[in-house]
Amino acid sequence: MAQNNDEFRFVSLLALELDNGDISLPSLPDVVLKIRKLLADENTDFERLSRAISMDPVLVSKLFIHANSAFYNRANVEIESLEVAISRLGIEAVRNTAMSLAMQQLYSSEKHSHAGQYLRGVWARGMKLSSMAFAVAARDPGLNNETAFLCGLLNEVGKLYIITKAEEFPDLLGRKSSFNQVLEKWNSQISKSIIESWGFPEEVAQSADPVTYVDGDVDTPATYADVMAVARGLVDFGQDGSLDFEADPSCNKLKITSDSVAGVMESYRDKLQSMQQSLT
């Protein structure tokens, strides 16, 4: 009975905070906010972005690794200038690298070390979802694959919030099966709330909850919610036949079939390897 009471009290707390709009995580780092502001300015150039980024030496080092990775350095020409690295990556990829670094730091915080097993698992899955979303969105010229990467990166940020809140309920944390059910049930709503509170566009926020926001009409344009529905399916089920490409409306919109999925998986693996190398 005590176990059920713990879970009931915890879920009631989550529901109350969600209803009251009290869901929050630490603010995004200044460099991420600066990059996002510069992205919104059509007059932004690589020199201005370089000045903003140069104040964060860890991010600078990650950008160099990323720009010189096999994924972005097809001609095998190594670069040493930050402006050239930004130019090679593109401003949105720079933002995503900064966001990835910020999210990695949130998931690996020493403050939450006793929940490390859960956090490491969610972070690893976030890297997979973001890389898969990138590969899936590349199938549709109407979508931006860097925006899709951001959607994947933030898709399970709600789990980070739930895990950190559960520190007040150590017995619940210790019951892995029950706690995983709580994570899965509440992640989408809480992720959407956090993404909105961080000021990202509504299309990014809605992608955190594909079940709610995917339009089953195959004649409507694909959205980032469609991208995340397919990305989740591919990450969770791979190519074992569990995802019905012909019947799934999101797969239809994105023109992902049993014949084309091998190319998507190859792009996914390349992107994942590149991100893992840059963040190591």
Q: How far apart are CA 214 and CA 255, in angstroms?
A: 15
Q: b or e along 240-276 (b: 16 or more beta carbons within 10 Å of the residue's beta carbon)? A: eeebebeebbbbbbbebeeeebeebeebbebbbebbe
pLDDT at 115: 78
19-25 long-range contacts, Cβ below 8 Å, gap at least 24? 21/193, 23/161, 23/190, 23/193, 23/194, 23/197, 24/194, 24/197, 25/106, 25/157, 25/160, 25/161, 25/194
pLDDT in tens, the chain (280 residues): 445 677 888 899 889 988 888 887 777 778 888 888 888 788 888 888 888 888 888 889 989 998 998 888 888 888 889 999 989 998 889 989 999 988 888 888 766 667 788 888 999 999 999 999 999 999 999 999 999 999 999 999 999 999 988 888 888 888 888 888 999 999 999 999 999 988 899 999 999 999 999 998 999 999 999 999 999 999 987 655 567 888 899 999 999 998 999 999 999 999 999 888 888 7
pLDDT at 1: 42
Predicted TM-score (pTM) of this structure: 0.89
Strand residue runs (E) in 112-268: none
Query: Is the Cα dihedral 211, 217, 220, 222 positive or negative?
Result: positive
Contact 68, 79 (CB under 8 A): yes
Q: How far apart are CA 200 and CA 207, in angstroms?
A: 11
pLDDT at 245: 86
What is the gyration radius of the CA atoms in the chain, in angstroms?
A: 19
Quote the CATH superfamily of domain 2-279. Hypothetical protein af1432 (1.10.3210.10)
Q: Give, as one character, the DSSP assignment of residue 66.
A: H
pLDDT at 110: 66
Q: Helix, strand or coil for residue 71?
A: coil
Contacts of 71 (CB under 8 A, 6+ apart): 270, 271, 273, 274
pLDDT at 128: 96
